[in-house]
Amino acid sequence: MKKLIIALDLSDKKKIYKLVEKIGEKVDFYKIGIIPYLLFGNEIIKWLKKEKKKIFFDLKFFDIPNTVKNAVKIISEHEVDMFTVHLMAGEKTIKEIVEIKKELKSNIKIIGVTILTSLAEKDLKFLGINMEIKEIVKKLVRYAYEWGTDGVVCSGQELKDLRKAFKPPFLMIVPGVRMEKSKDDQKRIITPEQAIKDGADFIVVGRPIYESKNPIKVVEKILKEIKDER
């Protein structure tokens, strides 16, 4: 299984198509988030499917149970392979979409979002939360597992402990992956090599690839790192 998911957080459709075509068979999984979906809608999903790619649909659903349930019914018709829902949406929302998946006899993977990798403890102080992010994430992942999701998104900082507690086939998807220290908005980062070593099923990489002058070289470097760590 190829473990790299490339995030297509771009606002230029031609650049997206060119990047995917250039990378070719090296990568078969792509993340569609808010930006490309708002701009290009289902067109981008249909195009990726035509190119025989898998899709991680990352809109992080966070709403009342009925709304999220109906959203899942819709996206299940678009052949996406995984989608994200905020675990903070609560037990009822998560359990209802797990049930809908069963009713639809769908193979789509439900992936719970814990705490964004752009957040650190200081960013949660306004809520009066006196817990380390690791502890909050661990609690949310326990709920995700008990409620029946297929896996979670977590940062590399929590990954190792979570993998010990929650074994495959429960999926661990890790964003905030960087080849080296960066100056962008990601705070809880990890290298590709370390992520796979610590038990990630998939790593999600965006900017280090599509902002590079030579994205193929970056992709090949990542693939070599994670292959060597298998």
- Residues in CB range of 4: below 8 A, 6 or more apart: 27, 29, 192, 202, 203, 205, 219, 222, 223, 226
Alpha-carbon distances of 87 from 60, 61, 148, 210, rounded to whole Å: 9, 9, 12, 29
Please state the separation of Cα 38 from the chain's center in Å.
Answer: 18
Active site residue 13: no
Catalytic residue among 3, 60, 138, 187: 60
In the chain, the largest separation of any two C-alpha atoms, in whole Å, equals 48
Question: What does the alpha-carbon distance between residue 119 and residue 132 come to, in Å, rounded to a whole number?
Answer: 12
Catalytic (active-site) positions: 60
